[in-house]
């Protein structure tokens, strides 16, 4: 019995073979077959000739069973997987493909790496499914509104101190500015905003959360209520002086653009710094100066409208006047001012009851009156007060009244009130008799 060859075909190829056999049998014309198969008449003619020469095997694509010309050699594949398991451990397919090309000159698509990761059982972070949010249209102009916040994270992965990334992202084109600071507070915000303003200018609006650094949590005083104003934090006061409107979000999703940026940075920036061995805030800020232009070039978008609404930043001295902590203090009659448990002597002659103490970002402290800095010196040694002797206290002697059963008082009382005494004796006698009767019964 003659053996038959088994040819593996797809449904598409089986359909083609059926139509080509009809063409060979002259049941249908080549033009009709081209319409049925969606091919040109020339292609139908070539397939017909191949089937007539090779038989049914001619319908199968000739590249079947052959390795792809785009497939990687096993050595290159093993090298890439080894790098992803060691040097790029924890990197996702997208970031790993970028680093393999930038550093190791191995060009791979992210989907190729994704398939290799799946086959090797390699674990990497995946994006969580986001809950549905109402869409908000972006602002139309660059500089119209910036979203700002601080991200607390172990940015150096234990190689350095824990710190905060102060980040800014434009709502129109997603351009990013960021700096590392020791903590999220008034001075770190003011320092980062000063550097932002010097580089890009002052935005029209700043979108912040309700952290106590940005929005005051104090209750309105009587003076505030009388003047119809709300208590301000130092940040609110500084932004008002610079003409920047502060908008406060009521939830984290409301400022989702900056929150998503921090998630991206916690993946990409951390791994970039790991590759460079960065372990301090100074090194991190130096790295960000070189990295952010590359990041913005790749991930920023075009604003809907052309034009930059940033206002030119005032001179550095004017920025320092606003971006500082201002505290009003009373001026004593001896020209001294108390601030932070320290005493300062004003050397200039000034006729006022209150002065303003300004604590600058650079650590300087100024005492100002009517925009003029006053000369002062700290009083380090105060006169020691001698302890006063305890004054002698005179105690008024209380008059002693003897009790009723005192013998002297009893004699005096009997002489003065004889009828009361006889009555009390009769009462005592009656009680004794009553007690005797009870005991006898």
Q: What is the CA radius of gyration of the chain?
A: 45
Say how far apart CA 246 and CA 42 lie, in whole Å. Answer: 70
Say how far apart CA 416 and CA 191 lie, in whole Å. Answer: 94
Concatenating the DSSP letter of every residue in 80-124 gives HHHHHHTTTTT--HHHHHHHHHHTT-----HHHHHHHHHHHT---
Which residues are paired to 355 by β-bridges? 329
What pLDDT does 3 receive?
Answer: 56
The answer to whether 99 and 275 are in contact (CB under 8 A) is yes
What pLDDT does 42 receive?
Answer: 92
What pLDDT does 276 receive?
Answer: 92
What pLDDT does 1 receive?
Answer: 43
Which one-letter DSSP state was computed for residue 394? P
Could you tell me the two tokens for 147? 């979203």
Per-residue tens of pLDDT for the chain, all 441 residues: 455 667 777 788 888 888 888 888 888 888 888 888 888 999 889 888 888 888 887 788 777 777 766 666 777 777 888 888 888 887 888 888 888 888 888 888 888 888 878 877 777 766 665 665 666 788 999 999 999 999 999 999 999 999 999 999 999 999 999 999 999 999 999 999 999 999 999 999 999 998 888 888 777 777 766 677 778 889 999 999 999 999 998 887 778 899 999 999 998 999 999 999 999 999 999 999 999 999 999 999 999 999 899 999 888 778 999 999 999 999 998 889 999 889 999 999 888 889 999 999 988 999 999 889 999 999 887 767 777 677 767 777 788 877 777 776 655 555 555 555 555 555 666 666 666 555 544
Say how far apart CA 304 and CA 321 lie, in whole Å. Answer: 35
What pLDDT does 13 receive?
Answer: 80
Say how far apart CA 221 and CA 420 lie, in whole Å. Answer: 70
Concatenating the DSSP letter of every residue in 300-320 gives ----SS-SB-PBPP--HHHHH
Could you tell me the two tokens for 426? 């009769």
What pLDDT does 116 receive?
Answer: 78
What pLDDT does 408 receive?
Answer: 67
What pLDDT does 238 receive?
Answer: 92
What pLDDT does 137 receive?
Answer: 83
10 Å CB burial of residue 224 (0-12, 13-18, 19+) is: middle
Which residues are paired to 151 by β-bridges? 165
Q: Indicate whether this model's pTM tops 0.95.
A: no
What pLDDT does 356 receive?
Answer: 92
Concatenating the DSSP letter of every residue in 349-377 gives ----SEEEEEE-TTS-EEEEETTEEEPEE
Write down the residue that tokens 């014309």 correspond to. 29
Count of all residues that appear for the chain in the document: 441
What pLDDT does 181 receive?
Answer: 95
Q: What are phi and psi of 40, to 5 degrees?
A: -75, 160
The answer to whether 402 and 409 are in contact (CB under 8 A) is yes
Sequence-distant (≥ 6) Cβ neighbours of residue 305 within 8 angstroms? 140, 141
Say how far apart CA 31 and CA 196 lie, in whole Å. Answer: 69
What pLDDT does 80 receive?
Answer: 82
Q: What are phi and psi of 422, to 5 degrees?
A: -65, -35
Write down the residue that tokens 């913005």 correspond to. 296
Count CA atoms closer than 13 A to 409's CA, side-chain side: 7
């Amino acid at each position: 019995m003659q053996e038959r060859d088994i040819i593996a075909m797809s449904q598409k190829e089986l359909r083609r073979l059926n139509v080509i056999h009809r063409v060979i049998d002259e049941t249908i014309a080549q033009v009709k077959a081209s319409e049925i198969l969606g091919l040109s008449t020339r292609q139908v003619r070539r397939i017909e000739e191949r089937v007539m020469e090779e038989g049914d095997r001619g319908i199968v694509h000739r590249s079947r069973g052959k390795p792809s010309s785009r497939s990687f050699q096993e050595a290159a594949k093993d090298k890439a997987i080894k790098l992803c398991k060691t040097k790029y451990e924890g990197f996702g397919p997208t970031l790993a493909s970028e680093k393999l090309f930038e550093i190791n000159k191995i060009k791979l698509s992210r989907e190729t790496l994704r398939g290799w990761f799946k086959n090797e059982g390699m674990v990497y972070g995946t994006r969580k499914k986001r809950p549905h949010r109402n869409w908000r249209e972006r602002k139309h102009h660059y500089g119209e509104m910036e979203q700002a916040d601080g991200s607390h994270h172990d940015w150096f992965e234990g190689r350095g101190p824990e710190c905060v990334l102060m980040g800014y992202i434009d709502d129109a084109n997603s351009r990013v500015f960021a700096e590392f600071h020791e903590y999220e507070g008034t001075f770190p915000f003011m320092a980062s905003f000063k550097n932002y303003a010097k580089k890009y200018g002052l935005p029209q609006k700043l979108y912040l959360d309700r952290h106590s650094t940005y929005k005051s949590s104090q209750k309105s005083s009587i003076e505030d209520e009388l003047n119809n104003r709300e208590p301000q934090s130092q940040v609110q006061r500084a932004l008002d002086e610079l003409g920047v409107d502060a908008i406060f979000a009521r939830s984290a999703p409301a400022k989702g653009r900056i929150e998503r940026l921090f998630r991206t940075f916690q993946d990409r920036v951390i791994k970039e710094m790991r590759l460079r061995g960065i372990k301090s805030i100074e090194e991190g800020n130096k790295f960000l100066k070189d990295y952010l232009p590359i990041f913005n070039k790749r991930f920023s978008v075009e604003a809907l409208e052309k034009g930059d609404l940033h206002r030119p930043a005032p001179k550095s001295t004017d920025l320092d006047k606003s971006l500082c902590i201002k505290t009003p203090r009373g001026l004593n009659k001896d020209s001294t001012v108390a601030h932070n448990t320290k005493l300062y002597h004003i050397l200039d002659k000034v006729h006022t009851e209150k002065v303003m103490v300004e604590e600058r970002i650079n650590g300087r402290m100024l005492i100002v009156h009517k925009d003029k800095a006053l000369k002062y010196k700290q009083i380090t040694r105060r006169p020691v007060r001698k302890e006063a002797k305890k004054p002698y206290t005179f105690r008024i002697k209380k008059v002693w009244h003897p009790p009723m059963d005192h013998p002297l008082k009893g004699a005096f009382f009997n002489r003065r009130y004889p009828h009361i005494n006889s009555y009390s004796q009769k009462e005592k006698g009656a009680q004794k008799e009553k007690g005797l009767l009870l005991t006898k019964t």
